[in-house]
Every structure is written in structure tokens, then in C-alpha cells.
Amino acid sequence: MPADMEKVPRSIWWGNNEENGKPGIFILDQTRLPLVGEVLCFQQLNGIELAIKSMAVRGAPALGVVAAMAVALWSENESLDTEVGPWLAGIDAVAERIGQARPTAINLSWGARRVRDYAHLLAESGAPLPALKLSIVALAQKIAMEDEACNRSIGAHGAELVNPGARIMTHCNAGSLATAYYGTVGAVIYTAFDQNKLEHVWVGETRPLNQGARLMSWELMAAGVPCALITDSMAASVMQSGWVNAIFVGADRICANGDVVNKIGTLSMAIAAKRFNIPFYVCAPNSTIDKTASDGSQVPIEQRDGRELAGFTVTGTIVPTDDTVSKAFDLLTESGEKLLRFKGKHKMNVYRRDGGYAFDAWFQTTPLNLPIYNPAFDVTPADLVTAIITETGVHKPADL
């Protein structure tokens, strides 16, 4: 049976908001998946910038798409310019700002710059402002479609490397949710599964934000691909047991020498793969290759809030089991959301949703005021990478 892609939702799309008829960027909020599947609509740059920073939308190719859409969104909903010159200056500033919302994934600045450069090119040909505005909206949507097409090619090339009966391992979510659709590693998995070659996927948990545990496992299960979750620290032992035929991971930036910057934990997986002679493949569109970065030391590594490590976040819906509980939550949420703070810095936000109640909570699990180091990415040296799979084929890292 092929992968049931109908069950895997899209992560980002451009559309008109039903309430005010104005354009917006719609995203499936990945901070709340899989327990709450909420679609958010952003109509202003501030909002979408925050969604990027908070990782409601995430994954390098998805960030490229959303960055392109963010520039177009500003042009549609916030630019008051009536002349091409000041509009272009605004586009430059917005592209610069959105490109820096997160520092490591090159796709973010790539997507923003692509729209900016197109705006300049069209303006040089003398196109009037309304036509320019329409054209950049169309380009942003085209970038989303191109991303999906790239992924399908990555899937076709990558699946050739998967042998019948393969048990593969992956890290983080480089699945459909991390792209406009279908994923990079996701594409390889879904294609190989459709070809009846893939037996099983080991999904690395991906501490601290659990993109593997929350997102990759969820989309694989939705698509009907057999998978099992392991913590990051179990990966080497699973390889040692002989249960892994190949490893496929995504990338946030690939340097000119083939070094791969990807989710923290990728490096340890690659080192273990080398030790156990398991091929280690990186799947990414060409837009993830940064020829200006000679090697991994040139890439800024995002440092994230220590609270991601100091505790855990839970989000979900509350189903009261009796009247007393319902009444208690009614009272609590009488005047809207209620933020509850507990001793030990735990906190919980309770609110009404779809005739019931929902919550977002954060619980501290470490000693208070513990110093924390929380880099979001690491650098896997090119010599640990067997091959890099892009939409144009399978490349040796040294051949980049």
C-alpha cells in the first residue's frame, strides 16, 4: 500500500482571510502538534516573524517559502508606498529583517532575497507598482510549488539508495511539515515506501524541542509508514545492534566543502554511523547550499532560550469528566485566557476552545537558575557524509 499522503496536512499556504478578505499566510502551528492541530493566519510582518522565531513554522525549506511569502505579505498589507522607489526600499528592509529571524537555515534569507531580487528586476523593466505587487505574490506561491517539486526529485534520487527491506534512521523532522510539502528525507521515505522497499524508520527524538518525537513520528504514522521512536542517546546502540541499513537527515545549510549544518544531534549520529559502517545521507534542495560559507565554522549557530532545556512544554485539550470540573474551568476562563503560575516557575495558560478547554503549559524539571547551553544545530564534517541528495541528483560532498 502506498503512503497515505492525504492524511499529511500542508504546513504553509497563501490565501485570503475569510474574515476581512485580505491576504494572509496560513500555517499549521508546529509548536502545538500533534496534540493540537491549529491553523494560524498571519496578515502582518510582525506576526509571521514571531511565528518563525517561535518555530510555529520551521524546517529549512519551509522557512524559505515562508520568508518569500512574508515579503509579499508586507507588500500587500502594510506598504503604503505609491511610488516604486520607496516600495523597493521597503522590500529591501523587509527581506533583510525576515532573513535574520533565525540565523542558521540559509533558506530563510534565500527565500526573502529571491523575492527582493525579482522585485528589483521587474522594476528595472519599468513595470508599474500594482503589477510589481502582483508579481511578487505570484513568485512567493511559485516558490512553494517549486519546493514540492524539488522534494519529489530528491525522493526519486534518494529512493534509489534504499535497498529492499531497508530499516533506516532519521533525525529531527525533515518530513513534509518541514517543507512546502512531501519533505526532503520525507520524500525519500515516502517514495521508497511506495516502492515497497522500506520496512521501518527509526525516529530520533530530537531533544530539546522533540521535532522527531512530536512531528516526524506523527506524520509517518499518518502516512502509514512503520516507525519507532528512540531517544537521541539510543541511536548508536540501535546501529550497533545491526538494525539500521542507512541514515537520512536534512540540512539547514551545506557549506562549499560539503560540511553539513543540521539539527543538534546530527553530528553524533554521523560519528556513530561511521563507526558501524552505515551510509549517512543528507537530503536538501540546492537552495540549502551556501557557497559563500567555505566550511562549517563560517555558519552562525542559533542559540536558543535555556527554558527549552530546563523543562518541557505540554499543550492539549481538557476534557472534563464531570460537572464540577467543567464548572471549575468555566470559572477560570470566564474572562478569557487565564495564566496560572505555580511554585517552581511552572506555568499553565488555560483557555476555551471549540466548546471545551485547552491549555499550554511549561513545567520546570531542572534546578532553578541552572546555567544552560542550548545550541540548535551542529556541524557534521563532510568526511562523515556518504552523499548529499538534492533535486539534481546524488553528489559526493567533495563534488559540491
The CB-of-358 to ligand MRU minimum distance in angstroms stands at: 23
385 binds ligand MRU (CB under 6 A): no
Compare residues 305 and 330 and give the one whose CB is closer to ligand MRU. Answer: 305
262 binds ligand MRU (CB under 6 A): yes
The CB-of-374 to ligand MRU minimum distance in angstroms stands at: 12
8 binds ligand MRU (CB under 6 A): no
Which of 252, 259, 290, 378 is the catalytic position? 252
Q: Which stretch binds ligand MRU (CB under 6 A): 66-74, 174-182, 359-367, 383-391?
A: 174-182
32 binds ligand MRU (CB under 6 A): no
61 binds ligand MRU (CB under 6 A): yes
Residues constituting the chain: 400
Near ligand MRU in 232-251, by CB under 6 A: 250-251
Compare residues 109 and 211 and give the one whose CB is closer to ligand MRU. Answer: 211
Near ligand MRU in 67-126, by CB under 6 A: 105
- Residue 357, strand partner residues: 318, 352
Active site residue 252: yes
Q: Which stretch binds ligand MRU (CB under 6 A): 18-26, 58-66, 235-243, 305-313?
A: 58-66
Position with the least CB separation from ligand MRU: 250
Q: Which stretch binds ligand MRU (CB under 6 A): 65-73, 173-181, 307-315, 345-353?
A: 173-181
315 binds ligand MRU (CB under 6 A): no
299 binds ligand MRU (CB under 6 A): no
Residues whose CB is less than 8 angstroms from the CB of residue 319 and which lie 6 or more positions away in sequence, other chains included: 356
57 binds ligand MRU (CB under 6 A): no
Q: Which of 11, 24, 27, 59 binds ligand MRU (CB under 6 A)?
A: 59
Q: Which of 207, 263, 359, 382 binds ligand MRU (CB under 6 A)?
A: 263
Compare residues 109 and 135 and give the one whose CB is closer to ligand MRU. Answer: 109
174 binds ligand MRU (CB under 6 A): yes
Q: Which of 106, 115, 168, 178 binds ligand MRU (CB under 6 A)?
A: 178
Kindly report the three-state secondary structure assignment for every residue of the chain.
CCCCHHHCCCCEEEEECCCCCCEEEEEECCCCCCCCCCEEEECCHHHHHHHHHCCCCCCHHHHHHHHHHHHHHHHHHCCCCCCHHHHHHHHHHHHHHHHCCCCCCHHHHHHHHHHHHHHHHHHHCCCCHHHHHHHHHHHHHHHHHHHHHHHHHHHHHHHCCCCCCEEEEECCCCCHHHCCCCCCHHHHHHHHHHCCCEEEEEEECCCCCCHHHHHHHHHHHHHCCCEEEECHHHHHHHHHCCCCCEEEECCCEEECCCCEEEECCHHHHHHHHHHCCCCEEEECCHHHEECCCCCHHHCCCCECCCHHHHEEEEEEEECCCCHHHHHHHHHHCCCCCEEEECCCCCEEEEEEECCEEEEEEEEECCCCCCCCCCECEEEECHHHCCEEEECCEEECHHHC
**Which residues are part of the catalytic machinery?**
252
Chain contacts with ligand MRU (rule: CB under 6 A): 55, 58-61, 105, 172, 174, 178-179, 184, 211, 250-252, 262-263, 376
